[in-house]
A and B are shown apart, each in its own frame.
Chain A
Amino acid sequence: MARRKPAAAPTRLGGRRDGWLMIAPLTALLVVMLAVPLAVDLVYAVSRVTFETLRAPSVIGFGNFAVVLRDGQFWGAMLFSLRFAVLVTAAELLLALTLAIFLAPLLASIPWLMAPLLLPMMVAPALVGLMYRLVLHEFVGAVPYYFVLLTGDSPSFLGPDTAFWTLVTIETLQWTPFALLILYTAYQSIPTDVREAASLDGTGPLQMLRYVELPLMRPTILAVGFIRFIDSFRVFDNVYTLTGAGAGGDTTTISIYIYEAFFRRDDIGVAVAASMILLAIAFAMLTVVLRWSERRA
């Protein structure tokens, strides 16, 4: 009588094979969409390459990185993006937190009110830039029209002294709804019994906010702040459509710097090297934030 094969071994092997089969499409997608472009970028970053020599780059070592790091425009763009991202993130968090707390009772009783509040972030950023080109235009825009009507004159919105603040305001107006949505959800998810217990202990509204609600919301606030910081640091569309690189390059974000080096100056190696530096900085920041979060946890 033949011996029966043990059942466990083929099952384990079959399970492993099935596992590989299951992750194969995702792995293939990641390789094609991320690993291959990254490998090409790594080659371009250490090569002299233009549109004419895209398929035959000549490797020159780390010269492109040296060019980027010595370029005052690169550091100017980094500084602009950093200043822009810090201000926008702070403004969005403050505004969204205020709205989440003050509108909470209203939103709890009329939930659909959240839909119109979210509308700005549903518009494509490039379209927002074009829209504000119209809205702020001295002769056809609604905002200057009312300024002229009320004061006899309209201020400059996109002049060299004001363009930065106009861009910060527009970015804040567009993306505060994103922060509001998440912070409101976090605010609503604070257990009622925690609030009730604090009230029984005689906690006032301000103390409740400071010692109970904000500490419980802190991980969410940090996550939203981090996402918005990264997003606004690499802002491109609305700034590019509204002011371009700005007079004298005054509104050159780091993304615009890379775009112009790539397409306008045909310095593809330099553009990719700048992207790599940006990637390294973002990776370092992410590592620091994750480690800090782990330690806090």
Chain B
Amino acid sequence: MRRILQAACGAVAMLALGGASARADVTVLGWPGGPEEVALRATVEAYNKQPSVAADDKVKLIFFNRDNFWDKLQADLAAGTAEFDVNLTATYAVGRYAPFMDPIDLPAAAHTTFSDGVLKTMQFEGKQYGVPTDLSLHFLYYRTDLIAKLLADPTWKAKYTEIAQAKWGKALAPKDPDQWTWDDYAATALFFTRSLNSDSPTRYGTVLQMKNLLFNMMVWHSTARSFGGNWTDASGAVTVDGPGYRAGLELYKKLYDAGTSPKDSLSYEFAEANAAFGSGQVATMLQWNAAFGDLDNKEKNPTVAGKIGTVAPPAGPEGRFTHIHGLGLGLNASTKHKDGALKFLNWLATPDAMLLYAKAGGSPALQPAIVEKIASDRPDLVKLGDYAGKYGFVMNGATSAKALQIYQLQAKEFTGYWAGTETEDAALKNVAAGMAELLKK
């Protein structure tokens, strides 16, 4: 009996030691299921192979499911988990997670890698909370074959002007998408909608993402901002109930009601919009830059691959704008391996590490001198940096602690207006009142 007990105690001790040894690694919680995961895996593998990295500082990766990722992360951080030492964060969530994270001091090399503007996407109240690994913004996607014919064919040109006059109230002529205003976008969407133009080769002119979802608000903000809309003015007063927001809301409503976007657009988000565009039955789409790789892949989307053009979103009276936000990695305040975690984060912010990350499929916004080194492999990153610099914006207050709740509030109210279950006035009034309350707290 005693021997059995001794053996059992020995086994327990060994298990405990094994557990302690496993916990000696630096654990990083990454963004799952996309190019970011692939890139992070490759980068971490390179980091772990370095002879200078001690055994206890080796990095291991864990991933949650992407569904409701941020809510699960919030629950874990609030519970004071030490299961991961480094966690994902995002521009719109920096303020939300800041109470559970430790600010970091990045090395000088980080300024060679990233511009100040990009580093700011991971800052809250002047403190750095993460290394910006990926930047997201919006492109206007369009079918190059259809637009080329529209610009060349006199019959299509005449019909375009006729439809623009009849349905949009302006006699517009076709233009290169890089020169579009929102009127040109609307006229093109109307022209390529078969229910309005029986000659249209596509069923719909565009696909709008109108599901009650915070990420869809980010897409729509690129429109609202170009009309002059913003969350607050310089003094912090809420300004959503103004002409900029109204013009953006009405543009979506008119296009949806005219039938230029699929009937179920009010349940569409990233995946549904991509499926619609990839089917070849949609001519244009406002979408995240991350969609390009799959859409232009001949195996995944044979109908449209090789026929896709991307430009910055169309211009409004205030100019062209694209919402930007970053994903990044920062330090969990409850970490038990702070030194090892900081070593990894400091290394990750260097040009060499970010070049590895970019080469493996990540989308970091790098300084021109750095991105040049990878331009032949990743030409899209050049455009990413270029657009972020020229057109990128973050709404005033969009990194505050309550930013996610504000996005959610806008999504609920504005989708109600688009669905016709709420008036524009009521939606804007509710959003303004809710935002004032959220920003006050």
Distance to closest chain A CB from B406 (angstroms): 11
The answer, yes or no, to whether A243 is at the interface (CB within 8 Å) is yes
Is A248 in contact with B421, judged by CB distance below 8 angstroms? yes
The answer, yes or no, to whether A245 is at the interface (CB within 8 Å) is yes
The answer, yes or no, to whether B155 is at the interface (CB within 8 Å) is no
- 22 residue pairs from A and B, CB less than 8 Å apart: A51-B75, A51-B77, A52-B78, A133-B267, A138-B263, A139-B262, A155-B263, A156-B264, A159-B267, A160-B421, A248-B212, A248-B412, A248-B413, A248-B419, A248-B421, A248-B422, A250-B416, A250-B419, A250-B421, A263-B71, A264-B71, A266-B402
Residues of chain B lying within 8 A (CB to CB) of residue A140: 275, 279
Is A265 in contact with B408, judged by CB distance below 8 angstroms? yes
The answer, yes or no, to whether B243 is at the interface (CB within 8 Å) is no
Which residues of A from 14 to 42 have beta carbons under 8 Å from B? none
Chain B contact-residue range equals: 35 or more
> Knowing that A159-B263, A247-B212, A248-B212 are A-B contacts, what are 18 other residue pairs whose CB atoms are under 8 Å apart, sorted by A's residue number?
A52-B78, A52-B99, A136-B264, A139-B262, A155-B263, A158-B264, A158-B266, A160-B420, A247-B211, A247-B416, A247-B419, A248-B417, A249-B212, A249-B412, A250-B419, A250-B421, A263-B68, A265-B405
> In whole angstroms, what is the CA distance A158 to B213 when docked?
15
- Kindly identify which residue among B77, B266, B402, B405 contacts A247, using a CB–CB cutoff of 8 Å: B266
Known: A139-B281, A250-B421. A244 touches B263 (CB 8 A): no
Which residues of A from 211 to 266 have beta carbons under 8 Å from B? 241-250, 260, 263-266
Residues of chain A lying within 8 A (CB to CB) of residue B267: 133, 158-159, 163, 242-243, 247
The answer, yes or no, to whether A137 is at the interface (CB within 8 Å) is yes
The answer, yes or no, to whether B404 is at the interface (CB within 8 Å) is yes
Is B417 in contact with A138, judged by CB distance below 8 angstroms? no
Residues of chain A lying within 8 A (CB to CB) of residue B417: 248
> In whole angstroms, what is the CA distance A245 to B414 when docked?
13
Distance to closest chain B CB from A221 (angstroms): 35
The answer, yes or no, to whether A54 is at the interface (CB within 8 Å) is yes
Is A159 in contact with B212, judged by CB distance below 8 angstroms? no
Distance to closest chain A CB from B59 (angstroms): 27
Residues of chain B lying within 8 A (CB to CB) of residue A250: 416, 419, 421
- Kindly identify which residue among A138, A244, A265 contacts B262, using a CB–CB cutoff of 8 Å: A138
> In whole angstroms, what is the CA distance A246 to B411 when docked?
10
The answer, yes or no, to whether B74 is at the interface (CB within 8 Å) is yes
